[in-house]
Structure 1
Amino acid sequence: MEYLTLEKRQLCDIQGRLFELAQKADLDCPFFIESFMNSKTAAALDDVYDRLQWVGEEYLLEELNDEVHGLKKAGATYPLEVMYWTGYLYRYWHYYTNEYSRDIYKIADARTMNECWLGFHTFDSEMAIDDLKEIYRQKNILDNP
């Protein structure tokens, strides 16, 4: 993969901070992650250029809240470190594979990311993504022999 530009790394950081902000706002983390990854807001970030890419995490959270007609409070929460890593890695994943957020979420949902964080957060981002894709591939082989 080509070296990630400063702008792309900044977008990874913004998305990581967005996921942290959701946890700090006491939102249901799995619901937030699923809502975001399947949203028009995430699709805008997947685009080559969209104004939403540079508005900051607070505005992105407001956009998503409006889009889904209210994010759920309470429920399951994940640690801040898990939320940041998940948001960052999902955005990095898009740049690494050119897959869209909606498709990435089908491969590695919120639960998978939470469960894999402990073992994967120290990996190089590309290695973590490759391993998450392999877990998905193996699971599908077992589920559909």
Structure 2
Amino acid sequence: MRNFDSLGLELAQFQGEIFEKSISRYECSSLVFLRRFKNSSYASYLDSSRFNTLIDVEYAFSEIDKQYGKSAYGNQKYSADALYWLGYIYRYISYTREISTKKAFNLISPKELVEHYYVYHTQSEEWVISRILEIKGKNEDFFDKNLRIKEILKKSYQTY
């Protein structure tokens, strides 16, 4: 687990801003935008250690647009505050647990997470993560990249 340092904070705030401003930038629903973001090469770029500057929100949008084009599909939009928090919490999870954006989204979908917004957004990030894991019947092992290897090794030692 990585400490949530100044870079992590900057990334979480930046991603929160991207999500928040998606309301005015895109005609599509919030869920369509979030799905595109999750699968975008820009999200992968934020996950990596290759980045050296965040540029700005418009640059992020232009990169997502290059990959997916425009869409007006869907019309349900989440509030700006909820979207900011979603962006922030997903990046917090991704950064501190050193997992991809996709894996963070796979832990809890945006639709599920936004349902918890009014209760969760006033709590600490670690509290939110522990509640999500509890609801999903998972523990911190969910974030362990080597868990599958550990389970195989454990089974192979048990057979001897």
Query: TM > 0.5 between the two?
Result: yes
C-alpha separation in 2, matches of 1:99 and 1:77: 27
Aligned AA (1:31) = V
In the aligned structure 2, how far is the partner of 1:75 from the partner of 1:122?
27
Instruction: For 2:78 and 2:137, locate their aligned partners in 1 and report how far apart those are by CA, in whole Å.
Output: 25
The answer to which of 97-106 and 63-72 deviates more is: 63-72
Task: Specify the alignment match of 2:136 in structure 1.
Answer: 136
Contact 1:46 1:94 in 2 (8 A): yes
Trace 1:47-86 onto structure 2 (pairs within 5 A).
47-51=48-52, 53-72=53-72, 75-86=75-86
Compute the TM-score of the two structures, normalised by the length of structure 2: 0.78
The 5 Å alignment of 1:34-45 reads 34-45=35-46
The answer as to whether partners of 1:21 and 1:58 remain within 8 angstroms in 2 is no
| Shift of residue 130, structure 1, vs aligned partner | 2.1
Q: Which has the larger radius of gyration?
A: 2
105 and 2 in structure 1: CA distance in 2 versus 1, 3 angstrom threshold: closer
Counterpart-to-counterpart distance in 1, 2:133 and 2:99: 12
CA separation in 2, counterparts of 1:125 and 1:10? 15
Question: Closer, same or farther in 2 for the Cα pair 1:2/1:104, shift >3 Å?
Answer: closer
Q: Is the 8 A contact 1:86 1:113 kept in 2?
A: yes
TM-score, normalisation: structure 1: 0.85
**Percent sequence identity over aligned pairs:** 23
Question: Would the aligned equivalents of 2:42 and 2:64 in 1 still touch at CA under 8 Å?
Answer: yes
Gaps of 5+ in 1: 139-145
- The match for 1:108 is 108
Deviations 1:82-108 (A, max 9, x none): 000000111011112111111111111
Could you tell me whether the CA contact under 8 Å between 2:44 and 2:101 is conserved in 1? yes
Offset, 1:136: 2.3
- State the distance in 1 between where 2:32 and 2:127 align: 26
Aligned residues: 137
